[in-house]
Amino acid sequence: MNVVLIGFMASGKSSVGRRVARRLGYRFLDTDRFIESELGCTVAELFATKGEAYFRELEFRLARRLSALTNTVIATGGGMPAAPGNLAALKAAGIVVFLNAAVEEIVQRLERDTRRPKVQGGELKDKVLHLHAARLPLYAQADVIVDTAGKSVNRVAGDVIRLTAEALHARTASAPAGASPEAAAKPQTA
């Protein structure tokens, strides 16, 4: 079983993911860092030299390789669920958890960021609001939704572990004929 963290840039996927992995005794994989190590350059360099579409193609292919992993917590890039079919590929890889951070906190954390090409230049808050509104309906299709506002990394990690176990149970229980698909489709929330 894998735990797949999705959510906006700077929503805590990597720090929470590392903590969850440590507590469960799982491996940890960050899709951006994985792409960077395979390509030998940073995501920002990829955007600058090859363009965003090239990066999205790499992400698209990687999303389909993740189901080969086991006992891994996977932190995904914020745009990964946006491409058609990617969310289904992530669900095939494990329980998908949306870390729902408050927009104000995201903006604050991104203010000094120089690493993320999607939010460089221009009015940061406008960019975040626009992209966040467009992506929220996709993120909301996760198996589990954890609101992170005002919570410590440790508390969020605890919520992720508890709700992932419940979602896994619901997924397994809904497999036999006669089970309610509505119940299984409803995300667990904290």
Retrieve residue 175's tokens. 């497999």
Segment 42 to 61, residues that bind ligand S3P, using CB under 6 A: 43
- Bridging pattern class, strands 144-147 and 188-189: parallel
Question: At its nearest, how many Å lie between ligand S3P and the CB of residue 137?
Answer: 15
Residues 131 and 118: their CA atoms lie apart, in Å, by 9
Among 23, 116, 151, 155, binds ligand S3P (CB under 6 A): 116
Residue nearest to ligand S3P (CB): 77
Interface region with ligand S3P, contact rule CB under 6 A, candidates 61-69, 73-81, 98-106, 122-130: 73-81
Residues 153 and 113: their CA atoms lie apart, in Å, by 20
Binding flag, residue 9, ligand S3P (CB under 6 A): yes
Retrieve residue 12's tokens. 């805590």
* Residues sharing a CB contact under 8 Å with residue 57, sequence separation 6 or more, in sequence order: none
Q: Which is nearer to ligand S3P, 147 or 166 (CB)?
A: 147
Interface region with ligand S3P, contact rule CB under 6 A, candidates 91-99, 112-120, 163-171, 176-184: 112-120
Q: Which is nearer to ligand S3P, 48 or 173 (CB)?
A: 48
Residues 79 and 37: their CA atoms lie apart, in Å, by 19
Q: Which is nearer to ligand S3P, 54 or 183 (CB)?
A: 54
Sheet holding 144-147, edge to edge: 27-30, 72-75, 3-6, 95-100, 144-147, 188-189
Segment 19 to 38, residues that bind ligand S3P, using CB under 6 A: 32
Interface region with ligand S3P, contact rule CB under 6 A, candidates 74-82, 88-96, 154-162, 168-176: 74-82
Q: Nearest-5° angle of CA 14, CA 20, CA 22?
A: 100
| φ/ψ of residue 4, rounded to 5 | -115, 115
Residue type, 28: F
Binding flag, residue 12, ligand S3P (CB under 6 A): no
Question: At its nearest, how many Å lie between ligand S3P and the CB of residue 172?
Answer: 30
Q: Which is nearer to ligand S3P, 138 or 161 (CB)?
A: 138
| Contact (Cβ atoms closer than 8 angstroms) between residue 144 and residue 95 | yes
The contact set with ligand S3P (CB under 6 A) reads: 9, 13, 32, 43, 77-79, 116-118
